[in-house]
Amino acid sequence: MALESEGLYHATLAIAANTLQLSDSRYRLPALEHHHRALSHLRELLSHDTWGEKELDEMLGLVLMLCWFDVTELAWSKEDDQNDIHPSAVYRLKRNLEDIQQRLPNGQIDPTTECAAIAEANRLGALLLLHETCSPKAASTSRSGLPAFDTEEKSRFVGQILNLILEKKANMMRTAVLPLWPLFLAGCCAREDEERVTVLRLFEELNGIRRFGNIAPAKEVVEMVWRQRDLAAEDEGKRQRGEAQPKKDPLQGARFAWEHAMVMLGDWKLSLT
């Protein structure tokens, strides 16, 4: 659809450029330019008096992709100006993601099948990414202007994503649009052993059915996040028992845990779409 829709085309390029600008600031301006064009196209569609099924699909896709862009835009570096942070905007974005109504074309798609399930997985993924963006960091990377959300709510989103994919995986896996992005986020945020086992099983099933080149690397990054987190917890336990001197948290200084993991693996870049 991105090749047929000017708005989705620019939204896709905006997200891609926004991801690239995390390691190369030259992509910052192209990301904003494509975001502006995608938003302008959405406004033009909304100005119509009536919409067909194609326009409704296009608007739904644009809204979700622009929300995705807005969430990742919160992931600024520690050098960014703290005075530019507006907690009200963060709460408004969270409410929008919680309240969004994902409408499917009437009579065309069964709301219980893969289209609705993948859309819901992406919505939950956006909420989880927002929580991860606002998670408390060490003092060197703290962002005092960001609101702190309930960690139990974040854990609930992890469980909801995994349960949804488990329940609908037969439908999801028969399409080329796999829920890799929300599964990756849920995997990186998974804390319980049972959740980790579920994540590994789902990655293996995805890879066994599709064997897309981005599935195995995504799984390896998730496993690296777990290893780094477990090592940090083990070192902290030894420090509290007086068996070791304090060590720097291997995840400290990274905007997200998976960014540090990708650097550890050789400065990897992932495609999760």
Q: How far is residue 161's CA from residue 168's CA, in Å, rounded to a whole number?
A: 11
Residue 67 CB partners (closer than 8 Å, separation 6+) = 93, 96, 97, 100, 126
pLDDT for residue 83: 45
pLDDT for residue 244: 58
Q: Is the pLDDT of residue 151 over 50?
A: yes
Average confidence (pLDDT) over 209-233: 86
> In terms of Cα–Cα distance, which of 71, 44, 42, 39 is closest to 59?
42
pLDDT for residue 24: 75
Q: In terms of C-beta distances under 8 Å and separation of at least 24 residues, what long-range contacts does 131-140 make, across chains too?
A: 131/157, 132/185, 132/188, 132/189, 132/256, 133/71, 133/74, 133/75, 134/74, 134/90, 137/252, 138/249, 138/252, 138/253, 140/78, 140/252, 140/253
Kindly compute the dihedral angle of the four CA atoms of residues 42, 43, 48, 52, in this order, to the nearest 10 degrees: 10
More confident residue, 15 or 84: 15
Among the ranges given (3-17, 82-96, 187-201, 211-225), the one the predictor scored with the smallest mean pLDDT: 82-96
pLDDT for residue 53: 81
Among the ranges given (6-15, 45-54, 192-201, 230-239), the one the predictor scored with the smallest mean pLDDT: 230-239
Mutual angle of helices 151-172 and 114-133, in 10-degree steps: 150
pLDDT for residue 74: 56
Average confidence (pLDDT) over 37-48: 90
More confident residue, 57 or 249: 57
